[in-house]
Amino acid sequence: MKRFFSLVLSAVLLATLGVPARAAEENSADQRLAQVTAKVKKVLDIGDEYTSFHGELRENELAPVWDLEWSRETDRIAVTAAEDGKVIRYYFFEENTPASSQSVSLAFPAVSREEAQRTAEAFLGRVRDPALESAAFEGNDAARLNSGVYRFSGQIQLNGLPSPLSFSLTLRSSDGKITRFSRDNLEENVIGGVPSAKAAASQEEAANLLRGTLALRLEYVLNEDGSTASLRYLPEAGDSYYVDAQTGQLVNLTELYEAANRGENGAAGGTLMDSGDAAKPEAAAPNGDGLSQAELEGVAKLEGVQSKEALDGMLREITGLGLERYALASAGYSLDQETGNVTASLTYARREGEKIWRRTVACDAKTGALVSVHSSAPYGQESKAAVSQAEAQQTAKDFLAELWGGEFASCALYESRPWDGESWNASHAFTFAQQENGYFLASNYLDISVDVTDGSISRLYRQWTDGVAFDSAEGILGEDDALEAWFSHYEQPLAYAHVPVRLDLSQDLSPLAETLMDMGYTYFYALKLAYALQEPAGRSYSGVDAKTGEVVSQPYAAADAPLTYDDIDGHWAAQQLETLAQYGVGWSGGSCQPRQELTQIDLVALLASTAGYRYDPDADDADSLYRQAYSLGILTPAARQDSASLTRGEVVRMLLDYAGYGGVAKLEGIFTCSFADREEIPQELLGYAALAQGLGIVTGRFDAGRTATRAEAAVMLYNFMSC
């Protein structure tokens, strides 16, 4: 469901339409301000300590709101409230707040995230309507050590049911002070109020109707290995529906939105096209004088590259591109560092009066072999179709058969997008996809468009993986069974939906309907009690395996999701590891491997995570991790040894150096410690050992020469952050 403030007909627009303020029949503006101020002060527990106050009214025909501000020398509070005192937005500003430091703070916040959430819940309990509203916190981002704040968000439920209303709230981690709050305001965005939560239609009845809106197609899908393809039932793109829970009617929500957009904005407008690619400079001619061997090798990579004039001549021989009407405007060359291939992009232009058409053709810079084409045309041109869809399709097939005959021979028409007579691109578009055993592999495709005005190729693109091994088409699950499996992964919760409704005085939608119609609105938004298909959160669902009947899904890889481990239950350091993970400190990938010997890259990743940097060894480049480590001062480039095992003494030294204690720890003759193995500690680590004991980083034996485990390193960091 679209969020409130992204909807085309948002009532917020009313505030900018020049609607005259409604005259207050009962109270004057100052009396109304006094009343709403008293209500807000009571809700937010604002005292009389502020030396300045003012309020401003923003009134429209839906719901008036007040902007209130209290200030004094040290701080100020800004509140947006409804006439009944409901707090919609709240901001607390501290005057003369020092700029946040860019340095990393290796300490846990004074207020834990659990304490912060309890404060947030208590605040929401004061500002929501207890008879109607409840707050449901959603999965929030992991806390960050150095952000200085906790952020929470969630949904405002109505009558205990999900709704499109949301809230967000920010607290300081230093003292739990709420600094920012905002919520969607029902009265400003819908007419007709909140319907009863009592449903006339059952969830089972709704499910039967919603099941009929689903359709699947059977295709090959490239597997993660990139070399094999399996058959999968994929969902067809279609309209969105809901079942009105009070009437039992199946409603096409997509059609409602389209009707609402037409009713509000009239004829659809176009999007201005970019004027084309900026001119790219030609590659300078190489000069070998004074170049190093590495530089000469780099220069050699462009050996055999054709000039733009030569490539232009080759491309103009391809008559289907229609370049006889265009002049060469610019050319650029790009080198693929992995393959060594050099691609040239030649941009052509033609002008008619003030209008400019552009066509960019990419080709192999050494052979002139065609790679891709894309075109732009001036918005608003009055094009006439001189080429039919059938003629364009034949042109496309002939062009592809000559250009990429091998691939095209294994393709069939996957999608046809004829020109509708209005869109700016003025072309018939076709996609041909590889077909095996009668089923498409849509990820291997040739995309081509034909200009309706002259029959030239206006777009060309190829995506292709060679040598794919296709699974057999035997033992395929029936479509009905696949559809049932696909439907079963959906939930159909009873919830309030934000739905466009046609303004009709005979339906008595709201006393405001007539006013809205006078202002030019034909549709507005209302809440409906509804059932709709909803996928479970936290995973992306792509289809049904055609052999096993299992729904294919994978978890979302959210970069800011809290760290979790699947291998620390029962481990002696589980509590410390979990606490660090709550603040994003630890290792990505889902496993901790607490008993594994610690390597340098393990410790670097752990320490870098305190600054918010996440490193996943399965997906990220170690060089980028170490560059981050150098910038944070964790170690120097000369000290890099990714796979070297680290002793406990080395862990303490790197941790204290990172924390800024290194200079002190290196002072000689001033330190002592009482570790049981005091005599075994190397002289160069004695200062570090003494600090580690004094700060509580290490207890018991120091064991300077024993290889550390990942869990031990994490606990040392935890102890330091807790001291």
Rounded to the nearest 5°, which phi and psi values hold at 242? -145, 160
Phi-psi domain of 701 (left: phi exceeds 0; alpha: psi -120 through 50; beta: other): beta
- Residue 29's pLDDT band, with cuts at 50, 70 and 90, is confident
Q: What span, in angstroms and rounded, lies between the C-alpha atoms of 294 and 353?
A: 50
Is residue 246 pLDDT above 60, yes or no?
yes
Under the phi-then-psi rule, with left for phi > 0, alpha for psi from -120 to 50, and beta for the rest, what region is 598? beta
Nearby residues of 96 by Cβ (< 8 Å), 6 or more positions away: 74
What's phi and psi for 317, nearest 5 deg? -75, -15
Determine the Cα–Cα distance for residues 376 and 22; give it in Å rounded to an integer.
Answer: 49
Give 144's pLDDT tier (boundaries 50, 70, 90): confident
> Residue 717 above 90 pLDDT?
yes
Rg (CA), the chain: 33
Q: What is the pLDDT of residue 141?
A: 63
**381 band by pLDDT with thresholds 50, 70 and 90:** low
On the question of pLDDT at 272 being above 90, the answer is no
d(CA 281, CA 332): 6
Question: Which pLDDT score, from 0 to 100, does residue 116 have?
Answer: 93
Is pLDDT of 392 > 90? yes
What DSSP character marks residue 483?
H
**Strand bridging mode 149-158 / 216-222:** unpaired
What does the alpha-carbon distance between residue 136 and residue 167 come to, in Å, rounded to a whole number? 9
pLDDT tens across 401-451, in order?
Answer: 999 999 999 999 999 999 988 777 789 999 999 999 999 999 999 999 999
C-alpha 332/C-alpha 283 separation (Å) is 7
- At residue 168, φ and ψ (nearest 5 deg) are -140, 150
Residue 130: the pLDDT is 92
User: Does the pLDDT at position 273 exceed 60?
Assistant: no
The angle subtended at Cα 361 by Cα 360 and Cα 365, nearest 5°, is 130
What is the structure's pLDDT at 509? 55
Q: Is the pLDDT of residue 522 over 70?
A: yes
d(CA 533, CA 203): 11
pLDDT tier, 103 (very low <50, low <70, confident <90, very high otherwise) = low
Number of other residues whose CB lies within 10 A of the CB of residue 10: 13
Residue 69: both structure tokens together: 């501000």
pLDDT at 290: 58
- pLDDT at res. 284: 40
Does residue 7 have a pLDDT over 60? no
pLDDT of residue 421: 80
Output the average pLDDT for the chain. 87
What is the helix, strand, coil percentage profile of the chain, to 5? Answer: 30, 25, 45
State the average pLDDT over residues 74-94.
94
- DSSP per-residue letters across 199-256: -SS-HHHHHHHHHTT--EEEEEEE-TTSSEEEEEEEEPP---EEEETTT--EEEHHHH
Residue owning tokens 């693109």:
461
pLDDT at 503: 84
* Least trusted range by pLDDT, from 38-47, 277-286, 363-372, 620-629: 277-286
Rounded to 10 degrees, the C-alpha dihedral 558/564/565/566 comes to -80
- Across-strand partners of 564? none
Closest C-alpha among 417, 421, 422 to residue 459: 417
The answer to whether the CB of 55 falls within 8 A of the CB of 40 is no
- What Cα–Cα distance (Å) separates residue 150 from each residue in 118, 146, 558, 580, 590? 12, 11, 18, 15, 23
**How far is it, in rounded angstroms, from Cα 410 to Cα 324?**
32
Q: Which of 233, 231, 235 is nearest to 436 (CA)?
A: 231
In the chain, the percentage of residues whose pLDDT exceeds 90 is 67
460 — pLDDT class (breaks 50, 70, 90): very high
120: Cα within 13 Å, side-chain hemisphere: 29
Q: 523: buried, middle or exposed (CB in 10 Å: 19+, 13-18, 0-12)?
A: buried
Confidence at residue 113, expressed as pLDDT on a 0 to 100 scale: 87
Secondary element (H or E) of residue 408 = helix 405-409
pLDDT, residue 271, reads 27
- CA 80, 83, 85, 88 dihedral sign is negative
360/22: higher pLDDT = 360
Q: Which of the residue ranges 135-139, 279-283, 563-567 would you say has the lowest mean pLDDT?
A: 279-283
Tell me the mean pLDDT in the region 164-178: 94
* Residue type (1 letter), 106: L
**Above 90 in pLDDT, residue 265?**
no
77 pLDDT exceeds 70? Answer: yes
Question: What confidence tier does 191 reach under pLDDT thresholds 50, 70, 90?
Answer: confident
Q: Name the residue among 587, 700, 716 with its Cα closest to residue 651.
A: 716
**Of 415, 2, 39, 3, residue with least CA distance to 236:** 415
Of 103 and 548, the structure prediction assigns the larger pLDDT to: 548
User: In sequence order, which residues have a C-beta less than 8 Å from that of residue 454 and are 6 or more positions away?
Assistant: 322, 325, 386, 387
% the chain with pLDDT above 70: 88
Q: In this structure, what DSSP letter does residue 396 have?
A: H
Tokens standing for residue 6:
């992204």
Average pLDDT over residues 552-573: 84
Torsion of CA 238, 243, 249, 251, to 10 degrees: -30
pLDDT at 125 over 80: yes
159: three-class secondary structure by DSSP: coil
Contacts of 17 (CB under 8 A, 6+ apart): 519
End-to-end C-alpha distance for the chain, whole angstroms: 47
Mean pLDDT over 117-136 rounds to 95
Place of tokens 């002939």: 398
What single-letter DSSP state applies at residue 161? B
Range of weakest confidence among 243-247, 514-518, 658-662: 514-518
Looking at residue 13, what is its pLDDT? Answer: 33
The mean-pLDDT minimum among 2-16, 78-92, 373-387, 645-659 falls in 2-16
User: pLDDT (tens digit, 9 = 90+) per residue, 578-624?
Assistant: 999 988 899 998 899 999 999 999 999 999 999 989 998 888 899 99
Rounded to whole angstroms, the Cα distance separating 369 from 14 reads 56
Backbone angles phi, psi at 155, to 5 degrees: -115, 140
